[in-house]
Amino acid sequence: MTAPILEVEGLVKHFDVSRHVKVHAVNGVSFSIREGETLGVVGESGSGKSTIGRSVIRLLSPTGGTIRFRGRDITNLPESACRPLRAEMQMVFQDPWSALNPRIRIGDLIAEPLKLHTRLSAAERRDRAEALAIRVRLTPELLTRFPAELSGGQLQRVCIARAIATSPKLIVLDEPTSSLDLSVRAGILELLAELKAETGAAMMFISHDLGTVKLISDRILVLYLGSVVEYAPTAQVFADAAHPYSQALMSAHLPADPDAVLKRHVLQGEIPSPINLPPGCHFASRCPVAVPRCRIETPRLDAVAGDAEHRAACLRIAEGANRIPALEDAHG
């Protein structure tokens, strides 16, 4: 087994809304990413997935827990000490229209990480930027344009070129395709898959779109209100999710195929506020198989059926009562 590039242990991040009010965005999340692996991070709004992505590359300072990057503890490194590390870990953002400085030409945007992290001359940087542009399938004429002159798909390619410029070991992608049209999205996914095979960079792919995550991830981390509910290889999560929330999430996904049969699990109940999280399992208020014990005891992320690769945080698994009943789809 290859060594992890990134190890996150008990990550906690709270945001202060006012002096006495805190939003508990991330509550003790642990996972690791192996060399060359793509970890899909899924969850709905408020699950803390973006906060985790930003904490991992230290755009945010964690409230608690540890983050190890290539064996080195970077949890509390000051920003000046993080800077050289940024050559090895890069980020791609959701909205390519706002992720690029509108007053800088595309060529200079792509070359910026090289300017910051290498000793290449201006001419060498220009050559590298052109090679990178061609690599992400942009025509070199675009290098002299400004961001406003490019389409969303082209801009996201620029962001990706920027992210791979210094050959990083880890790339965090925060919903990189969510704001793009379907056909453009496919092209970006194809590019990411190629880069993954070519560069061997590990990726953390954050998304709420299960179809996309399924396509590109090796393993999946399912989040609910800032906690990991399930952590397993992709195929296993889609075929045999153990946690009731994962089951509901997978079943709510609508594949673009009218012949696919849907097994629907309908959730009732309200989502608790991240300001006032209840004790016990945070999903208990919506969970069809919850028992009184679920509202008291906090479940641990344990191996499912003795399989260390498949972990889920649900008290009912040990009892064999974690399956939620499905409604057969009426219109099928």
Partner 1 sequence: MSATIASPRWVRRIGGISRRSPTLAAGVFIILGFAVMAVLAPWIAPFDPEFAQPRNVLAAPGGAHLMGTDGNGMDVFSRVIAGARWAFGIAIPAVLVGLLAGVPLGLYTGYRGGWFDEIAMRFFDALRVFPSIILALAVVAAAGPSLLNVVLVIGFLDSPVFARVVRAEVLALRHSTFVESAVSAGNPTWRILFVHILPNALQGAMAQTAVRAAWAVRISATLAFLGVGIQPPTPEWGAMIRQGAEYLVTGQWWVGVFPGIALILMVLGLNMLGDGLQDLLDPRRKAATR
Partner 2 sequence: MSLLRVEDLHTHFISRDLDNQIQVAKALNGVSFSLDAGRILGLVGETGAGKSLTATSIMGLLRPPARIMGGRALFQGQDLLAMPDDDLNALRGRDIALVVQSPKSSLDPLSRIGDQLIRIRRAHRGGTASEAREKAIATLGALGIPDPARRMQAWPHELSGGMAQRVLIALALMNEPRLLIADEPTTGLDVTVQAQILDLLRDLVRRTGIAAMIITHDLGVVAHYCDEMAVMYAGAIVESGPVRQVFRRPAHPYTVNLIGATPERLRLGATRTVGGPPPNLKALPPGCPYQDRCPQAGADCTMVPPDVPLGEGHVARCHRVAA
Give the span between the Cα atoms of 157 and 185, in whole angstroms. Answer: 11
Beta carbon of residue 137, minimum distance to partner 2 (angstroms, whole number): 10
277 binds partner 2 (CB under 8 A): no
Q: Residue 100 or 106: which CB sits closer to partner 1?
A: 100
Q: Residue 117 or 208: which CB sits closer to partner 1?
A: 117
- Burial classification of residue 299, based on how many CB atoms lie within 10 Å of its CB (0-12 exposed, 13-18 middle, 19 or more buried): buried
Give the span between the Cα atoms of 98 and 164, in whole angstroms. Answer: 19
Q: Residue 56 or 222: which CB sits closer to partner 2?
A: 222
User: Given candidates 10, 151, 309, 321, which one binds partner 2 under the rule CB under 8 A?
Assistant: 151
User: Given candidates 52, 109, 203, 216, which one binds partner 2 under the rule CB under 8 A?
Assistant: 216
Kindly report the number of other CB atoms within 10 A of residue 106's CB atom. 27
- Identify the CA nearest to 25 among candidates 54, 2, 5, 4: 54
Contact partner, 18, from partner 2, partner 1, none, Cβ < 5-8 Å per class? none
- Residue 45 gets which letter from DSSP? T
Give the span between the Cα atoms of 27 and 226, in whole angstroms. Answer: 5
295 binds partner 2 (CB under 8 A): no
- Residue 140 gets which letter from DSSP? G
Query: Which range of residues in 80-88, 126-134, 151-159, 232-240 is near partner 2 by CB under 8 A?
Result: 151-159
Contact partner, 144, from partner 1, partner 2, none, Cβ < 5-8 Å per class? none
40 binds partner 2 (CB under 8 A): no
Taking residues 222 to 261 in sequence order and writing x for each that binds partner 2 by CB under 8 A, - otherwise, the string is --------------------------xx--xxxxxxxxx-
DSSP code per residue over 260-290: SPPEE----SPPPPTTSPPSS-TTTTT-TT-
Q: Residue 106 or 228: which CB sits closer to partner 1?
A: 106
Give the span between the Cα atoms of 94 and 320, in whole angstroms. Answer: 39
Question: Which stretches of the chain bind partner 2, using CB under 8 A?
Answer: 44-45, 151-154, 181-187, 189-190, 193-194, 197, 208-212, 214-216, 248-249, 252-260, 262, 264, 266-267, 270-271, 329, 331
